[in-house]
Amino acid sequence: MKEKDSRRIIILLCGVVCCLIMGFAYTYSLIQPYVMKYFNIESSSASLPYTILLAVFVVGNYVGGVMQKKVKVKIVLFIGYLLMAVGAFTTSLLPQTAPAGMWLTYGGLLGLGDGMVYNVIIAMMQKWFPDKKGLATGITLAILGVSATILSPLCSKWLIAYGLTGTFKILTGIFVVIAIFGMLTIKAPPEGYMSDYRPTGASAVSSRQCSTAGECFRMKEYYMLTIIYFCAIPAFVLLSS
């Protein structure tokens, strides 16, 4: 039992490290003025890459979830991190006459890769902690939020010292380092891991209420939650961007 607990705690800590860069998108409010200056565009145009990233991030979540069922976790992580690194690097190479290029490089590639990696890390934490899903997920998401606090002052210094393109080159290097770390450390639990675990109390009720995607689309609760999120997200976007 102690060996099992220590192993999954190590996985959780590794997931926390990987999440330290996942909040980079929330620093876009710092990057946007430099985007406006570099491409000589208005604020409304400069905010489009971030808007696209948020939309594509959702697609990345879905793609990452589907891929996990068909290929190894390391492959999904590799593809996700590769997209993030390529997105950051190609953003650093964009000429000043091609602001729309950020729609693809920052919004598309970075958003897709970020969503895939995010899905893998959250899913792995829940699989390693079937008895403490809420705790493991909560810790991981908390670090995701903290990452923006850590990256913000760093990005400010990089933007001042190296400009927009230099900052994205630095981010590329960070993504590559974390990618190697994540692929070496994050893995799925072995077959039959904690198969003898039986939830009790509120956890048992939650487990009995698990539904498939098709069943969710036929539940009014799903649409109520969707409406709630649609109302909450605009406020989040305004505050974070």
Would the pLDDT of 196 be above 80?
A: no
Confirm if 65 and 119 have CB atoms less than 8 A apart: yes
76 and 174 belong to one structural domain: yes
pLDDT of 56: 95
Q: Are residues 58 and 111 in the same domain?
A: yes
Least confident segment among 70-79, 106-115, 187-196, 217-226: 187-196
Task: Look at residue 189 and give its three-state secondary structure.
Answer: coil
Q: Average pLDDT over the chain, rounded to whole?
A: 86
Task: List the single range of 2-6, 40-44, 122-126 with lowest mean pLDDT.
Answer: 2-6
Higher pLDDT pick, 163 / 4: 163
225 in the same domain as 125: no
Give the model's pLDDT for residue 88. 95
CA-based angle 39:44:45, to the nearest 5? 35
91-105 average pLDDT score: 95
Asked whether residue 18 falls in the same domain as residue 101, the answer is yes
pLDDT tens track for 134-176: 888 888 888 887 888 888 899 999 999 999 999 999 999 999 9
Question: What confidence score (pLDDT) does residue 198 get?
Answer: 65
**Which two three-digit tokens encode residue 22?**
């996942």
How many of the other CB atoms lie within 10 Å of CB of 124? 25
The total number of structural domains in the chain stands at: 2
Are 219 and 122 in the same domain? no
Q: Do residues 135 and 237 share a domain?
A: no
Domain identity same for 61 and 152 = yes
Q: Are residues 107 and 37 in the same domain?
A: yes
A 10 A CB-CB count for 198 gives 10
Residue 187 banded pLDDT, cuts 50, 70, 90: confident
Same structural domain, 16 and 104: yes
Task: Pick the closest to residue 85 from 99, 105, 71, 70 (CA basis).
Answer: 105
Task: Check if the beta carbon of residue 120 is closer than 8 Å to that of residue 80.
Answer: yes
What would the pLDDT profile of 25-49 be if each residue is shown by its tens digit? 888 989 999 999 999 999 989 999 9
Tokens representing 100? Answer: 């729309």
50 and 8, same structural domain?
Answer: yes
Which is more confidently placed, 208 or 224? 224
Same domain, 207 and 175: no
* pLDDT value, residue 37: 95
What is the domain extent for residue 94? 2-190
User: Are 159 and 235 within one domain?
Assistant: no
- Identify which has the larger pLDDT, 33 or 4: 33
pLDDT tens-place string over residues 212-237: 777 888 888 888 988 987 887 776 66
In angstroms, the CA 241 to CA 231 distance is: 17
